[in-house]
Amino acid sequence: MNILPEWVQWIQALAPAAASVAALVAGSLGWATYSQRRTADRRDQWWKRAQWAIDASMDADDNERQVIGAAILVHLAESDLCMPDDRDLLLQVLVAARDAVLDTEEPNGETGSEGGGDDGKPSEDEAEAG
């Protein structure tokens, strides 16, 4: 004969299942927190790379750095971490960088003081090669 009330016997029988459910809920919450934190850290690193690439793509003194910055911006825009608003921002930066490069071009279509002009005559290098 059992001296405990029937409801206490039910609690004793369900206690292992309740502990398992509680552990499952706690594990799920822990995983969700970890996943959210990991995504936030990855987005933070993505944004640091984007900031560097934006600075590089706008560097009017170093054309090679501009090209590398623009290439990295394109790559970052294709990332799964890139949100639609971020993509729009990167596109605007790329357009601004392109416009800045075009504004520095000379009227004959060449940048800087290198090259042989666009007067229809071959440059010395072209004349020697041709």
What does pLDDT average to in each consecutive run of 10 residues of the chain (130 residues)? 77 87 95 95 95 90 88 92 91 86 63 49 54
CA–CA separation, 92 vs 87, rounded Å?
9
CA–CA separation, 83 vs 99, rounded Å?
24
> What's the pTM?
0.60
CA–CA separation, 82 vs 121, rounded Å?
48
CA–CA separation, 71 vs 17, rounded Å?
55
Q: Note the pLDDT of residue 4.
A: 74
Two structure tokens written together for 83:
């949100």
On whether the CB atoms of residues 53 and 69 are closer than 8 A, the answer is: yes
- In the block, tokens 């409801």 appear at 7
